[in-house]
A and B are shown apart, each in its own frame.
Chain A
Amino acid sequence: MPERFLSWLKSAAGITILLTLFLAAYATIDRGPYILVNTAITGGMLALVAIGLALLLGVMNVASFVHGEYFMIGTLAAYYVFTPLNAYLTENPSPFLTNAAPLIAILSAAAVGAAAGALTEILVFAPMRRRSRENWVMNSFLLTVGLAVVLINAHLLIFGADFKGIVRYWPGRPFTIMDVFISRDRLFAFLISIIVILVFWLFMKMTRTGRAIRAVSQDETGSLMVGINLTGILIFTMALGCSLAAVAGASLLFLYPSYPTVGLEALYMAWFIVILVGLGNIIGALTGGFMVALLKVLTVEYIGSGWDFVVPTALIIIVLIFKPSGIFGSEVRGALEK
């Protein structure tokens, strides 16, 4: 075990994680603990979007460029559920409902995201899969780009271009942790991302359906041979992946109001992560989420807020030159095992 640990430390993944931890520790001492707090919140949410993206890549072989739009759908659903609830609450105060309303909004966003994902698979990917599986990766990729344009403009057409935001989810005084004030919304956003990731992890490892999803990602013919209904699993995977993005969008509504292209930043960041750690790698997506978040936070802190896309992009170019399969790429395979 110690030798295995040492060799892992010397691998690209080990070096990067160590470097990240070192950077995080240095910045925390240099500038203060709020760096860690910001990284944790951004990282958890980025991880949710990136895990969904990695799932679609690993299981369905779809390089999705429409994933940010499910984030957008999440913000939209949460806004239209939370705003009337909140208006009702100002007239009829109820402590229980005040605390439950944000959760109701986020859960309905998850449901709407799942429904949108399932519909996308049934109406878009399944018909294409039936017609031809040649050039699948390229064709499905182009399809997602087109779908993204359609969804963004559908938002513009139906809901308009203005910002649809909320002031806050949870009212009340901010918490103080390590001398840092953290608003309730931020803390809950972090907790939600951790809980969702944990539940997702247990689901993939422990349940029959979770195992079936992993089986499909490893061998499609093999999964048919053991009696897995491929059509059903593909619809479910798409719903699950999109639902994760929608939860991220809904949980961050207090930071990013809903507007047509709100999902683009989440999409780009998720792609940074997925490219950084290796395509279709779910564990990698989780760690990568926090790494890219730290990078973003540090860039804003030390260089300036205009640079937060430049530094991660530059890093990815470097990673792709030296390690084209991503930093976790060589050691891992399969949807969850990768």
Chain B
Amino acid sequence: MLLEVKQLNAGHGFLQILWDVSIQIDVGEYVCIVGPNGAGKSTTLKTIAGLIKPISGQVLFKGEPIDGIGGHKVTRKGIAFISEEMNLFTNMSVQENLLMGAYILNDKDLIKRRMTYVYEFFPRLAERRSQLAGTMSGGERKMLAIGRGLMSNPALLLVDEPSFGLAPQLTATVFESLDKLVQEGLTILLVEQNVTKTLAVTRRGYVLENGRITLKGKSSELACDPHVRKVFLGV
């Protein structure tokens, strides 16, 4: 088991959002959390990433507890979080953003290899190497955010709403690149509002409603589930 979330309760300040959320992910899996707006999907990812301290419950990564140890330490354990708002360093160049992504790495050769890998993965970023991140288009910024996450050589990628604010074609490109990463052996936990698309590409899924997991199973089965179809797909 790569990631094990046990009975997680979390929220912002006094407002509790997650109620007893449990998630398990194995190495190499492509798992999604789907759910309506405000269900707590982003909160789940932020809590796993260490940006929110849980009220109770446990997050185990490779068997080690990582809840409440702080965002920067979670990154060091091998989890990369790509947030919805991306949190890029807008006044740094693409190259510098990627270098910051490798902040936790000390081996210069490894940093160079990761850089080459990311530039090969997103050739677009190589073209824009010296451009400031803040001046790029939405799709390019999303690529940079994923690229920066990949720089730290993570074992688990948490991706929050990769399609947010993107045109349909760009969304397709981003989904393709995530697919490719899974084929290369990376484990991904994806959070999306675009339910049809998400359930079509991932292998397993959780349905989060009002901060509770209401359904889980194979993505193909979830896509056929009458409740999911009624609530999310409107059929």
Q: Mark A residues whose CB is within 8 Å of B.
A: 208, 211-212, 214-215, 218-219, 221-230, 333-334, 337-338
Contacts and interface: CB of A to CB of B under 8 A. Distances in A.
Contacts of A333: 90-91, 134
Contacts of B12: none
Contacts of B86: 222
Contacts of B88: 219, 222
Contacts of B70: 224
B152 A227 contact: yes
Contacts of B148: 226
Contacts of B89: 214-215, 218-219, 222-223, 334
A142 to B, nearest CB: 23
Q: Which of B49, B92, B99, B134 has the most CB of A within 10 A?
A: B92
B51 interface: yes
A219 B90 contact: yes
A212 B72 CA distance: 12
Nearest to B90: A218
A227 B149 CA distance: 11
A225 B96 contact: no
B72 A222 contact: no
Contacts of A218: 89-92
Given A221-B51, A225-B71, A228-B72, 5 more contacts: A211-B92, A221-B83, A226-B100, A227-B103, A229-B72
Interface of B: 49-51, 70-73, 75-76, 80-81, 83, 86-92, 96, 99-101, 103-104, 134, 148-149, 152
B156 to A, nearest CB: 13
The majority secondary structure among interface residues of chain A is helix
Contacts of A230: 72
A229 B73 CA distance: 8
A227 B71 CA distance: 7
B87 A219 contact: yes
Please name the 6 residue pairs, one residue from A and one from B, whose CB atoms are nearest each other, closest first: A222-B87, A224-B71, A227-B75, A334-B91, A227-B104, A337-B91
A72 B90 CA distance: 36
A227 B134 CA distance: 21
B105 to A, nearest CB: 9
Contacts of A229: 72
B81 A211 contact: no
Contacts of A334: 89-92
A92 B99 CA distance: 53
Contacts of A221: 51, 71, 83, 87
A334 B148 CA distance: 19
A230 B87 CA distance: 15
Contacts of B73: 227
B209 to A, nearest CB: 26
A215 B72 contact: no
Contact of B92 (A214, A224, A225, A227): A214
Nearest to B82: A225
Contacts of B104: 226-227
A172 to B, nearest CB: 46
A334 B149 CA distance: 22
Contacts of B71: 221, 224-225
Nearest to B132: A337
Q: Which of B70, B99, B103 has the most CB of A within 10 A?
A: B103
Nearest to A336: B91
B175 to A, nearest CB: 22
A222 B83 CA distance: 9
A223 B100 CA distance: 8
Nearest to A334: B91
Nearest to A209: B103
A227 B72 contact: yes
B90 A226 contact: no
A100 B148 CA distance: 47
Nearest to B80: A225
B90 A224 contact: no
A212 B50 CA distance: 19
Contacts of A215: 89, 92, 100, 103
B72 A224 contact: yes
Contacts of B75: 224-227
Nearest to A218: B89
Nearest to B148: A226
A225 B52 CA distance: 12
27 contacts: A208-B103, A211-B99, A212-B103, A214-B89, A215-B100, A218-B90, A218-B91, A222-B86, A222-B88, A222-B89, A223-B100, A224-B51, A224-B75, A225-B49, A225-B75, A225-B83, A226-B75, A226-B100, A226-B104, A227-B72, A227-B103, A228-B72, A228-B103, A334-B89, A334-B90, A334-B91, A337-B92
Contacts of A223: 89, 100
